Amino acid sequence: MKISVIGSGSFGTSLAILLTNKGNDVTIYGRNQAQMDMMKATGGNHKYLPGIILPKSLKPTADLEEALADCELAIMAVPAQSLRSVLKEMKIVRDEVPLVNVAKGIEIGTLKRMSEIAGEYYGDSPFACLSGPSHAEEVARNLPTTVCSSSEDPEFAKTIQQVFMDENFRVYTNNDLTGVELGGAVKNVIALCCGISDGLGLGDNAKAALITRGIAEMTRLGVAMGGRPETFAGLSGIGDLVVTCTSMHSRNRRFGILLGQGMPMDKALDKIGMVVEGYTTQEAVNELAQKYNVEMPITTTLHKLLSGETDAEGCIGLLMGRKEKHE
């Protein structure tokens, strides 16, 4: 299959490697001409995946028209807040193309999920979301990984399952697109909070509580928006949440650790050097909680921290001092 990966960050590159190694004709697109030239010259994406050798047949390009020419499938691996602008550019080049999105977030302002944004530009094209616990650093090294392919079209979800699945990359299908997308978005917010907890040195008990109550928040919002409760107990819910909250591969957790240690927000973002989806998505998730009248104290407390209403130490009192509840 001729496949275009739109986005040359760590996850886009890792999926391009996987798909190329499966025998597909893969082009990877990035805006930065210098980065694409470097990938061609060195056979690696050293900024995002140091130490990983790219397959020789993988074709990097900074030309979107070249990337989309004759492609049978486009993998959207751009940051959530950039998806709309990239789709606008793509629509000029290709009127219709099947899409698989791997970005995890909610658009600020519109509060739209990634599938809803894609539907504005490619409403007549098949769409699927690939989500689950899948750090790019491990996918690129061919370590065992399990994710889910979700689409409102069950047959397209199965098609994507077959496109990606191999002996070390297992793919399940799931037709709860709303639930899968919300799980992927909210888990980044909770992971950022777990990082803050680790940065403050609050211990394993606190982190376990944040993960567990984070699942409760994720599920409440997801069900209110039409998702199924069982989805949040699956790969795109608790699976993705656990790996993002506990791994140093997680940019969200690392960013949170720096905040918990007292680093100013702008310096922490600069130190991470890549997009921290939880930082941008928390604003939209907090608005969704208000819109659907869903109680999400962890998300609300993080929003107060990032908007300057409290500091990292103050978050402890805001969460631990809440009125007693029945679990």
Closest Cα to residue 282, out of 108, 97, 158, 125? 108
pLDDT tens per residue across span 204-235: 999 999 999 999 999 999 999 999 999 999 99
DSSP state of 78: S
Q: List the CATH code of the domain at 183-320.
A: 1.10.1040.10
pLDDT interval class at 179 (50, 70, 90): very high
User: 295 with 221: CB under 8 angstroms?
Assistant: no
- The catalytic position among 40, 187, 271, 325 is 187
Closest Cα to residue 217, out of 199, 197, 241, 235? 241
Q: What is the mean pLDDT of residues 105-131?
A: 97
Fold (topology level) of 2-175: Rossmann fold (3.40.50)
Q: Where, residue-wise, is CATH 1.10.1040.10 in the chain?
A: 183-320
pLDDT tens per residue across span 26-66: 999 999 999 999 999 999 999 999 999 999 999 999 999 99
d(CA 39, CA 33): 10
Long-range CB contact pairs, 21-24, < 8 A, 24+? 21/55, 21/142, 21/166, 22/163, 22/166, 24/163
Q: Where, residue-wise, is CATH 3.40.50.720 in the chain?
A: 2-175
Q: What is the mean pLDDT of residues 3-22?
A: 98
The per-residue pLDDT for 90 is 98
Strand order in the sheet with 169-174: 59-61, 25-29, 2-6, 73-76, 99-101, 127-131, 145-150, 169-174
Residue 112 a catalytic site member: no
Query: Which tokens belong to 124?
Result: 């007549």
